[in-house]
């Protein structure tokens, strides 16, 4: 027997009311903060990757425009990130910049998210090369002069060590992380990760001399999770 139209309306109202109640009772996806402190040693603070400034390497003339995001090289000593989340987390947009300036890579340490592009620019008045033999991204961009750039996309997480085959003292570390929940470790060893979903997570800390260390952290629904990493 086919219900009367009025009965159908009643069923529809009851379904809508139940759906609204279910939404109200659904758990809230809380996001918290991880405040961390790494005990940096004098070696951690002094590591600059063999940088040897060359007085004869001038800078690119001012009329050449610069694009991309630059990280202050002297303020970064490591990278902290949530390692167990692969998707559903906001990812940074735009192209990250790794410059070659003053016969060094700037910044010395650069963190990017899987799928993000990096622009490799030469801002010196000499030829440079960019290459890496690291498993997550093997490449050789060849040699190119000042004012030129080449761009790559990093599709796998992990550490990519970058060098110049002309100037052996030049080195940069590109840390490719799985999601946008990362932060740089500053000179005081401090870092802050915001917007981390509540619950247990794997927190990874990468430092140039120590490599990567992963530890468990539980982010509360209210308040911050404090993490302290001692020197090994």
Is residue 81 within 8 Å of residue 217, measured between CB atoms?
no
pLDDT of 38 over the 60 cut = yes
Distance in angstroms (rounded) separating the CA atoms of residues 192 and 80: 8
Question: What is the reported pLDDT for 119?
Answer: 96
Averaged pLDDT for residues 146-154: 94
Helix (H) or strand (E) holding 176: strand 171-177
Residue 44: CB partners within 8 Å, gap ≥ 6?
A: 77, 78, 207, 208, 209, 210, 231
Is residue 79 within 8 Å of residue 206, measured between CB atoms?
yes
| Residue in the structure block whose two tokens are 């790794």 | 98
pLDDT tens-digit series, residues 185-198: 999 999 999 999 99
Domain boundaries defined on the chain: 31-229
Averaged pLDDT for residues 173-189: 95
Assigned token pair, 216: 């468990």
DSSP state letter for 59 = B
Task: Provide the 10 A C-beta neighbour count for residue 197.
Answer: 16
Helix (H, G, I), strand (E, B) or coil at 151: strand
- pTM (2 decimals)? 0.77
- Which CATH fold would you assign to the domain 31-229? Immunoglobulin-like (2.60.40)
Question: What is the reported pLDDT for 131?
Answer: 95
Distance in angstroms (rounded) separating the CA atoms of residues 55 and 49: 18
Q: Sorting pLDDT into bands at 50, 70 and 90, what band is 226?
A: very high
Chain centroid to Cα 155, Å, comes to 13
Q: Sorting pLDDT into bands at 50, 70 and 90, what band is 74?
A: low
pLDDT of 96 over the 60 cut = yes
Averaged pLDDT for residues 60-81: 59
Cis before 107 (ω within 30): yes
pLDDT tens-digit series, residues 6-22: 444 443 433 333 333 33
Assigned token pair, 146: 């000042």
Q: Sorting pLDDT into bands at 50, 70 and 90, what band is 87?
A: low
Question: What is the reported pLDDT for 117?
Answer: 95
| Residue in the structure block whose two tokens are 């800078």 | 59
Question: What is the reported pLDDT for 162?
Answer: 96
Q: Of 170 and 3, which is predicted with more confidence?
A: 170
Chain centroid to Cα 210, Å, comes to 18
Which of 2-6, 61-65, 171-175 is modeled with the greatest confidence?
171-175
């Amino acid at each position: 027997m086919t219900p009367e139209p009025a009965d159908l309306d009643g069923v529809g109202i009851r379904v809508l009311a139940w759906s609204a109640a279910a939404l109200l009772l659904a758990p809230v996806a809380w996001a918290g903060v991880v405040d961390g402190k790494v005990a940096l040693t004098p070696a951690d603070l002094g590591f600059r990757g063999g940088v040897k400034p060359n007085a004869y390497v001038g800078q690119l003339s001012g009329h050449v425009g610069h694009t991309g995001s630059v990280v202050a090289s002297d303020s970064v000593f490591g990278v902290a990130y949530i390692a167990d989340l692969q998707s559903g987390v906001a990812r940074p947009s735009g192209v990250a910049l790794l410059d070659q300036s003053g016969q060094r890579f700037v910044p010395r340490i650069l963190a990017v998210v899987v799928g993000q592009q990096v622009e490799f620019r030469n801002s010196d008045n000499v030829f440079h090369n960019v290459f890496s033999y690291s498993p997550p991204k093997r490449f050789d961009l060849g040699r190119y002069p000042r004012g030129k750039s080449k761009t790559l996309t990093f599709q796998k997480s992990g550490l990519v060590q970058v060098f110049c085959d002309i100037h052996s003292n030049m080195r940069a570390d590109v840390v490719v992380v799985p999601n946008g929940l990362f932060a740089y470790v500053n000179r005081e060893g401090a870092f802050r990760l915001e917007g981390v979903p509540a619950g247990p997570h794997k927190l990874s800390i990468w430092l140039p001399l120590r490599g990567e260390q992963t530890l468990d952290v539980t982010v509360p629904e209210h308040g911050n999770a404090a993490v302290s990493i001692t020197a090994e």
